[in-house]
Chain A
Amino acid sequence: MSTIKSLEDLKKAREEALKKRELKATSGTVQVIVGMGTCGIAAGARDTMKSILDTIEKDSINGVIVTQTGCIGLCEKEPIVQVVIGEAAKVTYGKVTPEVAKTILIEHVGNGKVVTDHVVNI
């Protein structure tokens, strides 16, 4: 199956993304790290990550880098999501369901307010 048509769509998507990045004033990079060890996957981390990517897509949130990490030893608190904004300290959230993930993106990443109810201390 050829992906030539899709590569053109990708080109358009890139141009669209570039335009949006020019408009947005970046206040430091945002990194969202999702735990994807076997414990995380079994606890539903893929659905959590799906919720994060869906929220980014639907709410057009630019400038968020999403990465994965392995098991950090807090298996009973999985799914775990960590947020690092600019130079600030890493905040670790536990038992992050898809709904909580969405809240974290909107409140913490969007409005700068840590969602204290779900923070876990490593």
Chain B
Amino acid sequence: MRELSLHLLDIAENSISAKAKDITIEVIEDLRIDLLQLSVHDNGCGMPPEMAARVIDPFVTTRTTRKVGLGIPLLKEAAEMCNGSFELTSEVGIGTNILVKFQHSHIDRMPLGDITSTLLHLLVANPSVHWVFKYRFNDDEFLFDDEPVKAEIQDLPLSEPSILNCLREMLQSGIDGARALNVS
């Protein structure tokens, strides 16, 4: 993967496969402590402790089409290459939480990339999931909770052109806004 936003997309897809109804994605960029942090929290089916310990192995996967599952091992490696860390906690019937940290200024830290597209695509293609996105740049936070948004749209599909346009702008302007306040 070339961007951290693609890793986020990949991990969120795991949450969807786990039949989560609530998925929260959080991105923190805190330059004061040289930290870039990603987290995905879901209330899907969860994993027993033995499985949770094994998923970092590329030859461990729940998919039946292939014998490898590279998403988590690659993300863990990406974090560790940047003085970072990877932490996964899970409980059957409760859900799974993945927390990944990177040294923000590390030369090998891949760019965050097009986070707006990642969030927009997850939102549009998985309308039955309740999505919450939090983005924080230093002290400035942007919070997007899809509940009031869906209440406003009601029965229309999220892929209607004018609605797509509006959703994309809501996400992009929120993220840009949090960043803009910090540009020196």
Interface size on B, residues (CB 8 A): 48
B65 within 8 Å of A by Cβ? yes
A91 within 8 Å of B by Cβ? no
The chain A residue with its CB closest to the CB of B120 is A53
Whether A1 touches B164, Cβ cut-off 8 Å, given contacts A41-B6, A72-B65, is: no
* Count, A-B residue pairs, CB within 8 A: 126
Per a CB cutoff under 8 Å, which of A36, A41, A62 touches B1?
A41
Please give the distance in Å from B64's CB to the nearest CB on chain A: 8
Per a CB cutoff under 8 Å, which of B9, B13, B69, B142 touches A1?
B142
Contact check, A10 vs B65: say whether CB atoms are below 8 A apart. Answer: no
A42 within 8 Å of B by Cβ? yes
Contact check, B65 vs A36: say whether CB atoms are below 8 A apart. Answer: no
Per a CB cutoff under 8 Å, which of A34, A39, A56 touches B164?
A56
CA distance A46 to B164 in the complex (A): 16
Q: Is the interface of A mostly helix, strand, loop or mixed?
A: helix
Q: Is the interface of B mostly helix, strand, loop or mixed?
A: helix
A26 within 8 Å of B by Cβ? no
Binds A, one of B26-34, B45-53, B90-98, B151-159: B151-159
The chain A residue with its CB closest to the CB of B125 is A68
CA distance A90 to B148 in the complex (A): 34
CA distance A61 to B165 in the complex (A): 12
Binds A, one of B35-43, B77-85, B101-109, B170-178: B170-178
Please give the distance in Å from A8's CB to the nearest CB on chain B: 9
CA distance A71 to B178 in the complex (A): 35
Residues of B within 8 A of A13 (CB): 160, 162-163, 165-166
Residues of B within 8 A of A37 (CB): 13, 63
A25 within 8 Å of B by Cβ? no
Q: Which of B125, B142, B143 has the most CB of A within 10 A?
A: B125
Binds B, one of A14-22, A81-89, A110-118: A14-22
CA distance A7 to B150 in the complex (A): 10
What are 17 A-to-B residue pairs whose CB atoms are below 8 Å? A3-B144, A7-B148, A7-B149, A10-B163, A10-B170, A17-B156, A17-B162, A21-B156, A21-B160, A34-B125, A36-B9, A36-B13, A46-B9, A49-B121, A50-B121, A56-B161, A68-B126
Given contacts A36-B9, A57-B165, 5 further A-B contacts (CB under 8 A): A17-B161, A17-B162, A21-B160, A61-B161, A65-B159
